[in-house]
Chain A
Amino acid sequence: MRQLTGAQLERLQDNPERIRNLCVLAHVDHGKTTLVDTLIASNGIISSRMAGKLRYMDSREDEQIRGITMKSSSISLCFSETEEASSDKYLINIIDSPGHIDFSSEVSTAIRLCDGAILIVDVVEGVCPQTTAVLRQAYIEKITPILVLNKIDRLITELKMSPMEAYGRLKRILENVNAIVGQLFASNVMEKAQLSNGNSKDGVFDWSSGLEDVDDENIYFGPEKGNVIFASATDTWGFSIFEFTEVLSKKLGMNKNALLKTLWGDYYFDSKTKTIKKGAITKGKKPMFVQVVLDNLWTIYEAVLVKKDQELVEKVIKSLNLKVNTREANHKDCKIKLNAILSAWLPISRAVLRMTVEKLPSPLQLVPERIKNFLAGYNKSFDCLLPETKLLYNDLISCSSNEKTAPLIVFVSKIVPIEKKFLPENKPRLLTTEEIAAKREAARKRHMEGLLNKLESQTIGIESQKGETNNTNKEETNNESQTIPDVELDEEFIAFARIYSGTLRKGDEVLVLGPRHNPQVGTEDFSGIPKVKVGNLYLLMGRELENLSEAKAGSVFGIAGLSDSIIKSATISSTPFCPAFTEVYAESPPIVRVAIEPENPYDMSKMISGLKLLEQSDSCIQVIHESTGENLLLTAGEVHLRKCIDDLENKYAKIKVTVSSPIVPFRETIVIPPEIDMVNESLKDQKKSVLKTESELKKEDNDSGNDEPEEKIVISNDRVTYSDEFFTVTVRAKPLELKTVQILEEKRNVLRLLNSGKTSAEVIESVKSSLDGSLKEEGFNCNNIWAFGPRKCGPNILFNKISNYERESVFAGKVSKLRDYDNSIVSGFEMATSAGPLCGEPMHGVAFIVEEWEIVEDKYSAGRVMTAMRNVFRKAFEIQPQRLMVAMYECSILCSAEALGKMYGVLSKRYGRILSDDMKEGTDVFQVNALLPVVESFGFAEEIRKKTSGSALPQLRFSHWEALEMDPNWVPTTEEEYMHFGDKADSENLARNYMNRVRKRKGLKTDEQLVQFAEKQRTLSKKK
């Protein structure tokens, strides 16, 4: 039976002192959702017998099937210490978070909205990688945690530990957790110390780390501090020391406080003298905790599960003075019996909720440092903010819901899709339509009043005010037009929000500040900020929602109707001086990159709109539409990807999609002829054989029959001459220096707009001069530049060195008179550079020099010259040593010391190159920087995570293009090379493998054999 209705819960939020916002954090499978289940059961929303099995918060189908949580969801509960008194009821908003590493972004958003956290550790598995990660997140966000040591029942039933052993184990885990906390604390302190040292101007360097001076007493967990709970969520029992001290102090007649201090730790109870003494371990006595607590627990478990002794059980029940339902107490299934007894004795919900109420801060007790982080971000100083913004600090501290004085500040951490059928307005309800109409009227009135108030209180310049009112008008008309119901989606997007100050009502007009909003930048003009009418407000009740008429400061709730104006997260405020709260700290950015396509090509548009919705619904997804037509989806991990694809297929796009590895771009380039061959022998002595292979190559190409009859192409040295009766041209190709290529890539945007007249002369001049400097070293003149390519702005240059053709350079702007066919040559250059001969990928860093050009006019069409030129350019490229270029990722990995070796293994297997590895000060974490080819990166994140069991976190960022050392067309020619590589050197040649892969994808010719060894297809039969 439900204890409270939504309306009652709504009333509870009036007093922020009695609100607690907390999230449940842990490693995957440590029992978060189960714990939340038991808490929900205490409020009567689900049956207490189902608690721990239902997993109420896992509303998604795949969550139930897989048994893991995939999204964070919130539920509002009520707790009162005493049964009757209605005055001291607390509103507790609990956010359940996923534990799997793929969904750590969900954890970040959950932590952001909370003031406290429940950290769960499985006593069997101990501290796991995710435990460390969530603790770090909690620490960075400065929220207060309490610790729950869960699954103690498994120590008894599975591991068959004795109470003493269990005590030791609990102690060790507690120490482990504290060690992490200490580490976080130490590294933080040291960072600060470094900062201040760096700033000190007097030249005296303070070598002390500052650790000694800082008090770290309050950050640790300890049962005696009252922030540790021992529990078994599946058996629905849990306790803190507090529960026992109460009973014991009565029984033994001892001081409560003394008991609190001694119940955990190296103390024992001397039954003769009835005193508590120190040094239990050395004297070989049982510590108090074992004696009083664990022994009793073990007895009960033994009585119920092992001995199955009904009399003993009844005796225990009696001695503990428990009220157990007789039907359950006599139940045949001993598991249920056990549950009934233990939950009557030590109900977990009471222990947990009481501790949250006592130990976790209310919204009134926001940590000042946290507020400063909100307002200024992690990297900026609070002092440099605007005075108006600084004023908000006090509002956040006071957390007042008084509309007159307190500005409205709401933070939306994510947008969640909720199925429409779960919305309260779509459920059968008791209100009649007249009542609804009356309510709507009232709301409208209120909203008008609010609007008037706002207008009066606004003290910003008149102009911006005008802009705003105009805006609101527009907004309103917009809203009206938007009221046409969107039937297609059966999902409504609800913003997951926390209100820090003020009161929000349905229909309020608010400013939506995007994540980039910064009051310091646009001080004068705030008219650009979108104003939005707030839709329905909801109380989040796990998989269901309750209507909420207003949200008051301190609460966590849901807002409808914002999905059009918010992409992922936003700040909602009544004042434009409120800065955007800093973006949610992301533990792992999305790095698993796949290309997706609709199975049916006609569904393209459906898929694209579906992708848009998907991106909005998940803060950790990125969608990129490549100019190649690919749609890339970036997710945090393989499980996350699966979830996203499911969502896309079943909810947002409703079409089947296929997932493939993304197409990896390559570049083609030429290099200065190498001096040594593959086995480090000088090439000079082998000139003959090399030349021979080249001429062979030529012959083959001639035979393969290009568009132009090749006999007209003559190669001498490194020049390529094409000549027939009307047309002669000579071209040479040369690699460009790295420096020049860099300049070309940097100035890409300027070059692109070069001839459009959109760039100023100075900008062009600066580009020209910087290019001139580097080109001169290579023996080129900037004034000879004919064109850039491909696409007029690429990293390849066409030079004009024709003796009898004076042509102004590209930089000269509009060129009035050109020779005929000038454009055909440029087009030929474009075509050649956009698809090289190796595998049809663009060229990179190649200079083509036209040295001779004669043409008899009107004999050729422009198109024919174009194709001829393309072939000449290609040929000039081909006779140089060609290389394939691969894109490289810069990869930074955070890795714990023990996983270092495995991580190196994964990197080297994928041809990664380590740049640096340093230990991070104050931690045992290594920071490794490496380069990784993009081609090899597919599945990299997943593999490294698996191999290191999640303790290495890679991040990938595009860095640069790098030429592979190996010639893709290389085959062994000399004796030594045959010796070293064997006859068929294909397995060795990485560049050739890449090239063939691309050629195959494009349907170009590869030298791969249909059948490698002809002999092997022979089926020899003797009968004949």
Chain B
Amino acid sequence: MATIFTPTNQKRLTNIAVVRLKKGGKRFEIACYPNKVMPWRNKIETDIDEVLQTPTVFLNVSKGQVAKADDLRKAFNTDDATDICKIILTKGELQVTEKERQAQIENTFRDIATVVSEKCINPETKKPYTVTMIEKAMKDCHISVKPSRSAKQQALDVIQQLKATETFKIERAQMKLRLFIPSKDGKRVREKVKKTNAQILSEEFDCDLEMTVVIDPGLFREIDDIVKMETKGKGQVEVLSLNTCGDDDETE
């Protein structure tokens, strides 16, 4: 039975990413393009037309139920569909696509590696590892990235894990500090500083005490507190360098 082809007057949407938002007791949905919502939220994509398939708000996208204007007004206090779409885009929940998740994890992974490489050195050569080396080591350690935590936080954990594997030699780059302490507090502070794991490079005791110490960056707060408390704010802590890796300078 031959049928005559008639053009449909329905516009079908394909490849949709649905963003949902519950508001005012109703569930609103909008139809977006996949892989575009996250860039919009990260301010990389600025063109709204590249994100929305259509600037209408639905109750159910797959069924094609458009939300009623009354409901919208009740929930959002506005008539403008585009504005409402923008609100839903930023606040709504969505299924992050595989590609987006991949890109995000990759970025965070590299970011962590960069932070680790900046903070650590190879104790044998006294020079930092390159980012690619850290990445390799991280993969060997089966380190998984958690998208919810910041790169810096995770980097600190990664350093611990890398240290635990004994084959990969890595250490936190040491921090170099100079402490100025008035003479009367000198002795006390010195004792206390010695009790921490700080490595004292030089000390001078003319009228005031001046010390240069190398410490693990984690100890900084402790040292700072000691100096502040013991001298009642008269002593000073000066950071000479954040990471001492070898004495040589950058070469071009």
Q: What residues make up the interface of A, taking CB atoms closer than 8 Å to B?
A: 595, 597, 599-602, 604-605, 608, 624-630, 660, 663, 665, 700, 703-704, 748, 752, 791-793, 818, 820, 822-823, 826-827, 830-831, 857-858, 861-863, 887, 958, 1000-1005, 1007-1011, 1013-1015, 1017-1021, 1024
Partner of A627, one of B114, B127, B131, B136: B127
State the CA gap A665–B249 with chains docked (Å).
14
1/0 contact trace for B95-136 toward A, CB 8 Å? Answer: 000011001000111111110010000101101111111101
Besides A604-B169, A1013-B50, 17 more A-B contacts (Cβ < 8 Å) are A601-B136, A602-B167, A626-B127, A627-B251, A628-B127, A629-B129, A629-B130, A629-B133, A630-B130, A704-B43, A863-B220, A1003-B107, A1003-B110, A1010-B39, A1010-B99, A1010-B100, A1017-B33
Partner of B110, one of A822, A1001, A1007, A1009: A1001
6 A-B residue pairs with CB within 8 Å? A597-B130, A660-B132, A1002-B131, A1005-B42, A1005-B107, A1020-B14
State the CA gap A203–B217 with chains docked (Å).
71
> When the two chains form their complex, are residues B249 and A627 in contact, meaning their CB atoms are under 8 A apart?
yes
Q: Which residues on the A side are within 8 Å of B133 (C-beta)?
A: 597, 601, 604, 629
> When the two chains form their complex, are residues B35 and A1017 in contact, meaning their CB atoms are under 8 A apart?
yes
Partner of B151, one of A604, A608, A748, A1003: A1003
1/0 contact trace for B207-244 toward A, CB 8 Å? Answer: 00000000000001100100000000100111111100
State the CA gap A627–B246 with chains docked (Å).
8
> When the two chains form their complex, are residues B130 and A625 in contact, meaning their CB atoms are under 8 A apart?
no
Partner of B239, one of A793, A823, A958: A823
State the CA gap A704–B44 with chains docked (Å).
11
State the CA gap A651–B88 with chains docked (Å).
63
Q: Which residues on the B side are within 8 Å of A1019 (C-beta)?
A: 14-15
Partner of A1009, one of B39, B107, B134, B252: B39
State the CA gap A783–B12 with chains docked (Å).
73
Most buried by B among A600, A704, A1011: A1011
> What is the number of residues of chain B that contact chain A, defined by CB distance less than 8 Å?
63
> When the two chains form their complex, are residues A627 and B245 in contact, meaning their CB atoms are under 8 A apart?
yes
**A-B complex: 6 closest residue pairs judged by Cβ atoms:** A1003-B110, A1003-B111, A1014-B33, A629-B128, A602-B167, A1011-B35
State the CA gap A1000–B109 with chains docked (Å).
11
Known A-B contacts A626-B251, A627-B245, A703-B43; the reply to A1003 vs B108 at CB < 8 A is: yes
> When the two chains form their complex, are residues A863 and B221 in contact, meaning their CB atoms are under 8 A apart?
yes
Q: Does B55 contact A (CB under 8 A)?
A: no
> When the two chains form their complex, are residues B236 and A818 in contact, meaning their CB atoms are under 8 A apart?
yes
Q: Does B205 contact A (CB under 8 A)?
A: no
> When the two chains form their complex, are residues B43 and A700 in contact, meaning their CB atoms are under 8 A apart?
yes
Nearest-neighbor residue (CB-CB) of B252 within chain A: A958
Q: Which residues on the B side are within 8 Å of A660 (C-beta)?
A: 132
1/0 contact trace for B27-57 toward A, CB 8 Å? Answer: 0000001111011001111000011000000
Partner of A823, one of B34, B236, B249: B236
Known A-B contacts A1009-B39, A1014-B51; the reply to A604 vs B236 at CB < 8 A is: no
> When the two chains form their complex, are residues B44 and A1009 in contact, meaning their CB atoms are under 8 A apart?
yes
B159 CB, nearest partner CB in chain A, Å: 14
Most buried by A among B39, B125, B250: B250
Nearest-neighbor residue (CB-CB) of A1020 within chain B: B14
Q: What residues make up the interface of B, taking CB atoms closer than 8 Å to A?
A: 12, 14-15, 33-36, 38-39, 42-45, 50-51, 99-100, 103, 107-114, 117, 122, 124-125, 127-134, 136-137, 140, 151, 167-169, 220-221, 224, 233, 236-242, 245-246, 248-252
Q: Which residues on the A side are within 8 Å of B99 (C-beta)?
A: 1010-1011
State the CA gap A1020–B236 with chains docked (Å).
69
A162 CB, nearest partner CB in chain B, Å: 61
State the CA gap A1002–B131 with chains docked (Å).
8
> When the two chains form their complex, are residues A627 and B236 in contact, meaning their CB atoms are under 8 A apart?
no
State the CA gap A1013–B130 with chains docked (Å).
35
Q: Which residues on the B side are within 8 Å of A1010 (C-beta)?
A: 35, 38-39, 99-100, 103
Nearest-neighbor residue (CB-CB) of A627 within chain B: B250
A622 CB, nearest partner CB in chain B, Å: 13
A755 CB, nearest partner CB in chain B, Å: 9
Q: Which residues on the A side are within 8 Å of B238 (C-beta)?
A: 823, 826
State the CA gap A752–B241 with chains docked (Å).
12
Q: Which residues on the A side are within 8 Å of B239 (C-beta)?
A: 823, 826-827, 830
State the CA gap A958–B251 with chains docked (Å).
10
Nearest-neighbor residue (CB-CB) of A887 within chain B: B252
> When the two chains form their complex, are residues A1017 and B241 in contact, meaning their CB atoms are under 8 A apart?
no
Known A-B contacts A626-B251, A1010-B100; the reply to A820 vs B233 at CB < 8 A is: yes
State the CA gap A1020–B14 with chains docked (Å).
6
Most buried by B among A599, A628, A630: A628
> When the two chains form their complex, are residues A823 and B237 in contact, meaning their CB atoms are under 8 A apart?
yes
State the CA gap A942–B36 with chains docked (Å).
41
B200 CB, nearest partner CB in chain A, Å: 17
Q: Which residues on the A side are within 8 Å of B130 (C-beta)?
A: 595, 597, 628-630, 663
Q: Which residues on the A side are within 8 Å of B122 (C-beta)?
A: 604, 629
State the CA gap A630–B131 with chains docked (Å).
10
A606 CB, nearest partner CB in chain B, Å: 11
State the CA gap A933–B122 with chains docked (Å).
31
> When the two chains form their complex, are residues B112 and A1003 in contact, meaning their CB atoms are under 8 A apart?
yes
> When the two chains form their complex, are residues B136 and A629 in contact, meaning their CB atoms are under 8 A apart?
no
Nearest-neighbor residue (CB-CB) of B110 within chain A: A1003
B149 CB, nearest partner CB in chain A, Å: 15
Nearest-neighbor residue (CB-CB) of B100 within chain A: A1010
Q: Which residues on the A side are within 8 Å of B125 (C-beta)?
A: 604, 608, 625, 629
Q: Which residues on the B side are within 8 Å of A1024 (C-beta)?
A: 12
State the CA gap A663–B127 with chains docked (Å).
16
> When the two chains form their complex, are residues A601 and B168 in contact, meaning their CB atoms are under 8 A apart?
yes
State the CA gap A999–B42 with chains docked (Å).
16
Known A-B contacts A1005-B42, A1010-B103; the reply to A602 vs B249 at CB < 8 A is: no
Known A-B contacts A629-B129, A1018-B15; the reply to A830 vs B249 at CB < 8 A is: no
Known A-B contacts A627-B251, A862-B224; the reply to A1017 vs B15 at CB < 8 A is: yes
Nearest-neighbor residue (CB-CB) of B103 within chain A: A1010
Q: Which residues on the B side are within 8 Å of A1018 (C-beta)?
A: 14-15, 33
Nearest-neighbor residue (CB-CB) of B38 within chain A: A1010
B50 CB, nearest partner CB in chain A, Å: 5
State the CA gap A1020–B33 with chains docked (Å).
13
State the CA gap A601–B130 with chains docked (Å).
10
State the CA gap A858–B129 with chains docked (Å).
39
> When the two chains form their complex, are residues A1002 and B12 in contact, meaning their CB atoms are under 8 A apart?
no
Q: Which residues on the A side are within 8 Å of B35 (C-beta)?
A: 1010-1011, 1014, 1017
State the CA gap A861–B239 with chains docked (Å).
14
> When the two chains form their complex, are residues A1004 and B111 in contact, meaning their CB atoms are under 8 A apart?
yes
B156 CB, nearest partner CB in chain A, Å: 15
> When the two chains form their complex, are residues B36 and A1014 in contact, meaning their CB atoms are under 8 A apart?
yes
Most buried by A among B124, B129, B151: B129
Partner of B249, one of A625, A703, A752, A1020: A752
A399 CB, nearest partner CB in chain B, Å: 44
Q: Which residues on the A side are within 8 Å of B127 (C-beta)?
A: 625-629
State the CA gap A698–B195 with chains docked (Å).
47
Nearest-neighbor residue (CB-CB) of A1012 within chain B: B50
Nearest-neighbor residue (CB-CB) of B138 within chain A: A601
Known A-B contacts A605-B124, A1011-B36; the reply to A1002 vs B221 at CB < 8 A is: no
State the CA gap A1005–B110 with chains docked (Å).
11
State the CA gap A1014–B167 with chains docked (Å).
47
Nearest-neighbor residue (CB-CB) of A626 within chain B: B251
A1010 CB, nearest partner CB in chain B, Å: 5
State the CA gap A663–B114 with chains docked (Å).
13
Nearest-neighbor residue (CB-CB) of A794 within chain B: B250
Partner of A857, one of B14, B117, B140, B233: B233
State the CA gap A656–B168 with chains docked (Å).
16
